[in-house]
Amino acid sequence: MTRCCLVLGDQLSDRLSSLNYLEPEDVVLMVEVWSEASYVKHHKQKIALVFSAMRHFADELRANGRSVIYVPLTDPENTQSLTSEVERHQRSHHFSEWLLTEPGEWRLKAAFDELKATLPVPLQVVHDDRFICSYDDFQAFLKGRKQPRMEHFYRKIRQSTGILMDGGDPVGGQWNFDHDNRKALDQRATPNPPQWPLDSITEAVIELVNTRLTDHFGVLDGANFQWPVNREQALLMLDHFITARLPSFGDFQDAMVLGKDTLFHSLISTSLNLGLLRPMEVCQAAEEAYRQGHAPINAVEGFIRQIIGWREYVRGLYWAYMPDYQTRNSLNASWPLPAFFWDESKTGMVCLSEAIRNTRENAYAHHIQRLMVTGNFALIAGCSVTEVCEWYLSVYADAYEWVELPNTLGMALFADDGVMASKPYCASGKYIDRMSDYCKSCRYQVKETETQNACPFNYLYWDFLMTHQERFRSNPRMAMILRNLDRFSEPKLAAIRSRAMEFRARVESTGSDVIASSQESLL
């Protein structure tokens, strides 16, 4: 009685829970399907990455003696959805049972729940133990807490895993060293990411995506595609991070520099999310670097917090609050996403143009670009929550809804009314000027708020605060900001509002914030 295990495109781990249940005679099914490639218009690099990593993983399973059925996208028999491929293979092979590690996205969980009801044999869905915190443990954490906060969760995980602990105490005597992590970058050189030649599998996939998915966003060619597609490459990326980047990771975690796309960030999110790396091994490697005196505590603690703190926390929130979570829009944001989010040449704002260029060329932007540039703009301009979430899910090589949605809807857009963040991450151009060198080469004046050339982040920020001030007054963390707003004169407030209105009207009618020179003389 042969059983079949369906392995999804982000389940590429040799220790995957469902694979542990298999007997030698059982079979693994992996399918490249149109429905997954197009449920949002993923960046071309993301699709190439997932397909190449899937093909490499299938080869590794075969090399380890597993029997694998692999259905490529172009197979004429391919029915192009995950569930219909299960049904097709059940009809042709009459398996006695199906196994699946639970999918990472709610829509797929719902689809497989439906399939269970119609499949003639059992479909066993097993827990995904590639995360440190189980759903039950996360529910236990939430229980009785009115305002769950990541920092409390993070401390619990430090204690339960023993990561960066000396007995019962945090290493270095503090849980969090973030106050040391806010430096703007000086003139120092930043390391280039490691490179490896593309193999024939990746080359074939790049060709496939470039011929079949021409209308998807982003640049994809051999020169700019450098994501790890197997565990060996993922370990090289991790090793490069630990030796060349981690020592400066903390200091410059929030910095942004023109033309420097990755700074000291780790570039491991794609590998973690695909299953090529394990969160604990990554944290252990960082801790070891600290214990060997290779990296300072502020860097190591800051990095580990991202993995066992934020990454686990957002996954816990996603499953605890879905499916209602995706419909939330507590600030009633509905302004259509400007066209320049898809084409940076349409904006004169250097900060946005840099973040969007990085995104288009590399399917990547680091956290502060995502949160404080594109996310902050979308928040203060009041962009449609649905459109912004779809944009983030489409454009990044590491994007899966379980991690993208809480970060976008919750952290960046404050649309969940404070479940994820205790206050909105809204900021004026002053923050971007402090943390980057962007403003020096921008056509807009970062120190101005109401003039024609004023930085749009400034008037949109104050306009946003004016619009939502009644809601925010009950939040003690917003009190100081609102006191500043209260000091503004009526004419100043009116000027800000009218700049924001002009800006929106211009972007709506032209797709761009840039004033055409013919119009400029009329203003």
Binding residues for ligand SF4 (CB under 6 A): 349-351, 429, 432-433, 438-439, 442, 444, 446, 455-457
Q: Which does 454 bind (CB under 5 to 8 A by kind): ligand SF4, ligand DLZ, ligand FAD, none?
A: none
In angstroms, the CA 116 to CA 124 distance is 9
User: Residues 79, 83, 269, 298: which binds ligand FAD (CB under 6 A)?
Assistant: 269
CA dihedral in degrees (194, 280, 326, 100; nearest 10)?
100
User: Residues 17, 90, 230, 273: which binds ligand FAD (CB under 6 A)?
Assistant: 273
For residue 398, give the nearest of 365, 371, 357 by alpha carbon: 365
Residue 92 CB, nearest distance to ligand SF4 (Å)? 57
> Hey, is 222 helix, strand or coil?
coil
Q: Which lies closer to ligand DLZ via its Cβ, residue 75 or residue 417?
A: 75
Residue 216 CB, nearest distance to ligand DLZ (Å)? 10
User: Residues 33, 108, 267, 289: which binds ligand FAD (CB under 6 A)?
Assistant: 267
Q: Which does 333 bind (CB under 5 to 8 A by kind): ligand DLZ, ligand SF4, ligand FAD, none?
A: none
Site map 397..436 versus ligand FAD, x via CB under 6 A = -xx---xx--xx--xx------------------------
Q: In sequence order, which residues have a C-beta less than 8 Å from that of residue 349 and are 6 or more positions away? A: 377, 442, 444, 455, 456, 457, 513
Beta-carbon neighbour count of residue 188 at 10 Å? 9
Q: Which lies closer to ligand FAD via its Cβ, residue 83 or residue 298?
A: 298
Degrees (nearest 5) of the Cα angle 172, 262, 150?
A: 45
In angstroms, the CA 272 to CA 180 distance is 26
If one asks whether residue 304 binds ligand FAD (CB under 6 A), the answer comes out as no
In angstroms, the CA 211 to CA 215 distance is 10
Q: In sequence order, which residues have a C-beta less than 8 Å from that of residue 20 and are 6 or more positions away? A: none
For residue 30, give the nearest of 63, 96, 78 by alpha carbon: 78
Q: Which does 52 bind (CB under 5 to 8 A by kind): ligand SF4, ligand DLZ, ligand FAD, none?
A: none
The token pair that represents 50 in the structure block: 């997932």
Q: Which does 10 bind (CB under 5 to 8 A by kind): ligand DLZ, ligand FAD, ligand SF4, none?
A: ligand DLZ
For residue 402, give the nearest of 306, 323, 334 by alpha carbon: 323
Q: Which does 433 bind (CB under 5 to 8 A by kind): ligand FAD, ligand DLZ, ligand SF4, none?
A: ligand SF4
Q: Which does 403 bind (CB under 5 to 8 A by kind): ligand FAD, ligand DLZ, ligand SF4, none?
A: ligand FAD
Q: Which lies closer to ligand SF4 via its Cβ, residue 14 or residue 520?
A: 520
Q: In sequence order, which residues have a C-beta less than 8 Å from that of residue 412 and are 6 or more positions away? A: 370, 371, 375, 376, 378, 379, 388, 425
Q: Which lies closer to ligand SF4 via its Cβ, residue 350 or residue 409?
A: 350
Degrees (nearest 5) of the Cα angle 279, 284, 289?
A: 130
Q: Which residues bind ligand DLZ (CB under 6 A)?
A: 8-10, 31-33, 36-37, 42, 47, 50, 82, 103-105, 108, 400
Binding residue count for ligand FAD, defined by CB under 6 A: 28
In angstroms, the CA 267 to CA 201 distance is 22
Q: Which does 444 bind (CB under 5 to 8 A by kind): ligand FAD, ligand DLZ, ligand SF4, none?
A: ligand SF4
Residue 37 CB, nearest distance to ligand DLZ (Å)? 5
In angstroms, the CA 244 to CA 238 distance is 10
How many H-runs (helices) and E-runs (strands) does the chain carry?
24, 7
Q: Which lies closer to ligand FAD via its Cβ, residue 335 or residue 425?
A: 425
> Hey, is 154 helix, strand or coil?
helix
Contact 382, 463 (CB under 8 A): no
- Among the listed ranges 216-224, 326-334, 355-363, 395-403, the one in contact with ligand FAD (CB under 6 A) is 395-403
User: Residues 193, 296, 375, 382: which binds ligand FAD (CB under 6 A)?
Assistant: 375
Residues contributing to the site for ligand FAD (CB under 6 A): 265-269, 272-273, 303, 306-307, 310-311, 314, 366-367, 370-371, 375, 392, 396, 398-399, 403-404, 407-408, 411-412
